[in-house]
Amino acid sequence: MDNAPRMKAVAGSRIIGTGSALPQRAVGNEELVAELAQRGVHTSDAWIVERTGIRQRYLAEPGLTTAGLGARAARSALEAAAVTADSIDLIVLASSTADQIFPSTACLIQAELGIRGGAAFDVQAVCSGFVYGLAVADALLRTGAHRRALVIGSELFSRILDWNDRTTCVLFGDGAGAVVLEASDRPGLLAQRLHADGSRARILCTAGRVDQGKIEGDPFLRMDGQAVFKVAVEVLEASAREVLEAGGLTVSQLDWLIPHQANIRILTATARRLGLPAERMIVTVDRHGNTSAASVPLALDWGVRCGMIRTGHSVLLQGVGGGLTWGSVLVRM
Ligand code: UT7
């Protein structure tokens, strides 16, 4: 007879702590505009604010790594959850700016946190990465094979920006956010739906790769902003409706909407289409810029630490980005 301990499936998982980390240097629009002008790249605070709502972003100092920033966010989430690193048996990192080709940056974070055992891997879904990671971690916790996970979004997008391309370099910033997710018979993750459409990969990509020791293709982020804008507004509305229905909630029962923080115009259009009052949406794009996979957990942690998001609140987390990928997770905090 098999005496091995059996995995006991659980009903779901819940978030027991949130955290975040930012590089030291906050760069306001005026400072960035002046730096870009020295390169002959012309933009203005007025254009950036009017078209995007961004007022500042954080930019990493040389030597800072995606793993280092992610580990800081993870420590802040562990502290908020009042649990120790050695109780973590799963690390899922969402990032498009991995420190190395391999091993995964999740493994580097595991080592930095001094965690031994369990599983660690990266999820690559660009700006939808955190939402993808949360859904994947929830599915693993439900099996009973893992008990407590760190789900992290950590990005150093400043490293893949073309600082001579004003259509992209003013939009993005660096940062990391994290949650501790625990297996629970009182599920906090109520519903999730993930989507991808690879036929639209070209409208937002960093297409370069390393081949025989050389960079082949374009190593910088490129985006057809208008094409992405149109898709983002459509899929965020559709995805919100789909997941609210799956979770048995109406828009009026939703306490907080946290869409991927790319552009204030996308956020307000999404809230308007859903009939959700703008005051029930968390907005951090003004202070962080677009931090890709870090944007949703950064905004979640900001909302929690400001006292806006509280235990028992329903929160809809939404990602959309390169792939194209999009998806939503409905959470009861
Ligand atoms: O994170 C993944 C998801 N990403 C997104 O959701 C991003 C979605 N897209 C957007 O947020 C917007 O499309 C952008 C912010 C990227 C651009 O805003 P837009 O209103 O679509 O501007 P546009 O591309 O239509 O450009 C308008 C004008 C152009 O000049 P002309 O052709 O009208 O003379 C651009 O050359 O603005 C010019 N422009 C700028 N001017 C000053 C573009 N970038 C800049 C700039 N400063 N930084």
Within 13 Å of residue 191, how many CA atoms lie on the same side as its CB? Answer: 14
Q: How far apart are CA 181 and CA 90, in angstroms?
A: 9
Distance 283 CA to ligand 1 centre (A): 20
Q: How far apart are CA 321 and CA 97, in angstroms?
A: 14
Identify the pLDDT of residue 5.
Answer: 56
Residue-wise DSSP of 5-71: PPP---SEEEEEEEEEE--SEEEEHHHHHHHHHHTT----HHHHHHHH---EEEEPPTT--HHHHHH
Q: How far apart are CA 12 and CA 218, in angstroms?
A: 42
Which amino acid, one-letter code, is at 231? Answer: V
Q: How far apart are CA 290 and CA 130, in angstroms?
A: 14
Distance 24 CA to ligand 1 centre (A): 27
Q: How far apart are CA 223 and CA 131, in angstroms?
A: 21
Q: What is the dihedral of CA 87, 92, 106, 204, to 10 degrees?
A: -160
Identify the pLDDT of residue 98.
Answer: 98
288 is known as an active-site residue: no
76 neighbors 22 (Cβ within 8 angstroms):
no
Identify the pLDDT of residue 205.
Answer: 98
Nearest alpha-carbon partner for 9 in 121, 146, 137: 146
Q: How far apart are CA 89 and CA 115, in angstroms?
A: 8
- Greatest Cα pair distance in the chain: 74
Distance 52 CA to ligand 1 centre (A): 8
Select which of 127, 146, 205, 263 is catalytic. Answer: 127
Residue-wise DSSP of 271-299: HHHHT--GGGB---HHHH-B-GGGHHHHH
Which amino acid, one-letter code, is at 312? Answer: G
Distances (CA, A) of 144 to 167, 182, 232: 46, 11, 35
29 is known as an active-site residue: no
Other Cβ atoms within 10 Å of 82 Cβ, number: 9
Which amino acid, one-letter code, is at 206? Answer: T
pLDDT < 70 positions in the chain: 1-6
- pTM for the whole structure: 0.97
Identify the pLDDT of residue 7.
Answer: 79
Domains (range + CATH), the chain: 12-184 (3.40.47.10), 189-332 (3.40.47.10)
Pocket lining for ligand 1, CB < 6 angstroms: 43, 47, 51-52, 127, 166-167, 170, 204, 225-226, 228-229, 232, 262-263, 266, 290, 320-321
